[in-house]
Amino acid sequence: MLAVGKLLSRLLSGLASCVSLFLLVTPLSGQSPNGAAAVFAWMIGGWTLCATAAAVVHECGHLLTCLVFKVKVQEFRIGRPDRSAFRFRFRGVTVWLGAPSGGQVRHDPVPSRQRSAAILASGSLANLVVAGLLLAVAVVTAPHQSETVGFPEHEAVELAMAVFIGATGLANLLPFRTRWGRLSDGAKLLALSSGRLGRKLRPDEIVLRGSNGETWRPATPQEEAEFQLDAAALKRAEEDPQAVLPPELVGKWLAAYRDRTFIGLATAAAVGRSLRKDGRIGELLELVQVFPAPQGRLARSLAHSAGALAYEVALVPGMPSAALDQAVDCLDRLLGLYETPRIQEEHASRAATLHSLAVARLRQGQPQVVEDLCRTALAGPELSPANRATVLATIVLARQALGHPYERLLAEATALDPRADLVAEAATRSRPAGGRTYPAR
């Protein structure tokens, strides 16, 4: 059913785009060929306006319903979750504004199934209401007689927006999975049902088995409620690698991991970083050894955590060769995963995995492959100053081991963020006056 819904949603979206572009270009049909550039600019600008309006109206519908039901909103996003966006905080809500291709409203759990359904349906309902209003305005303001063919420009924009916004609302009511792995509003509505399909779609029905055969279980409602209270700390840890987690949270999330709950999987990356910083390497290796392979609907989130754990292992100098081999095997599998059509668009995640592999290969005594592996990360626009400093420091360590010049890169990495991973290590291994180099372990 999800495959059929996805096909129908794409057909509906494609048809709406074609109709909207036709309506936009109709008022300019009489222009001379010299005006082709103006026609093209008008089409692109009009289509962007339609897409932006559709996304904003849809997400505002979810947002307003949450406010009516007094459900706390955590995040309001316009744009895809795997693309960069402008971010700010407003009254406790994280707002993301990016390219107008989708969006999301994250909120606290809703105990009532009826209210959950209302929140899910409100986005598409807002689209359909606004589309109807735009269509009514276009009809009311249309001239009764016209000597020209087509519509006036303002009427063409209103009709194009009505078509695109309405089609977006209808498409979201179809059951399918988006390109970045999330269920559409229609699929989430089906998941609220008590039937077989609803049970299949609900996240808490996912059965996940680890490499040792143990079954990971969903969190209980009480565990989920406690985790929601700690979510802000996890968010800070994800956004700032230098953030220090409270010891009580590390202990709680480590216990959740050992209890094989999904919460333990969600927090594994933050826990692994804390364990490495505290020198608890044995416990870090324990996390890596039992972490399940990325699969199914959780592939994206599992791949992120698995890659982060392998990276933490590779960061530790002098790590046993068996642990490094395991980290390399994990990263190689992730690279294969990022080549699949389902998540091949995640360029930033693939670049991060390549860099993690570069660190692991460096620890294995293969500095000659490091720069090639780091090139993809340096070429991407998504790197923060701290991440760029880490990648540069990785190259510096490789060049030190090879006896190649590295001073300029080390100076740039130190200037970007001297606290970033590997920067201090690269600085301490810098070449003394005698020209001797210190090989990476």
Within 10 A of 171 (CB to CB), how many other CB atoms are there? 24
pTM beyond 0.85: no
Q: Whole-angstrom Cα distance, residue 47 to residue 25?
A: 11
Burial readout 230-245 (b: 16 or more C-beta within 10 A, e: otherwise): beebbeebeeebeeeb
pLDDT in tens, 235-250: 888 777 777 788 999 9
- CA–CA separation, 207 vs 189, rounded Å? 21
Please give the pLDDT value at position 439: 42
Residue listed under structure tokens 């992120």: 304
Q: Give residue limits of the domains in the chain.
A: 2-201
Which residues have C-beta within 8 Å of that of residue 219, sequence separation ≥ 6? 227, 256, 261, 262, 263
pLDDT at 405: 93
Instruction: State mean pLDDT over 174-197.
Output: 76
Q: Higher pLDDT residue, 144 or 321?
A: 321
**CB-based contact 154:193 (threshold 8 Å):** no
Q: Which residue has tokens 């094989």?
A: 260
pLDDT-based confidence at residue 400 (cuts at 50, 70, 90)? very high
In terms of pLDDT, which residue wins out, 6 or 373?
Answer: 373
Confidence label for 312 from pLDDT (cuts 50, 70 and 90): very high
SS3 string, 398-430, reads HHHHHCCCCHHHHHHHHHHCCCCCCHHHHHHCC
Ranges of beta strands (E only) in 73-179 are 73-78, 86-90, 93-97, 103-107
Identity of the highest mean pLDDT range in 33-37, 39-43, 92-96, 417-421: 417-421
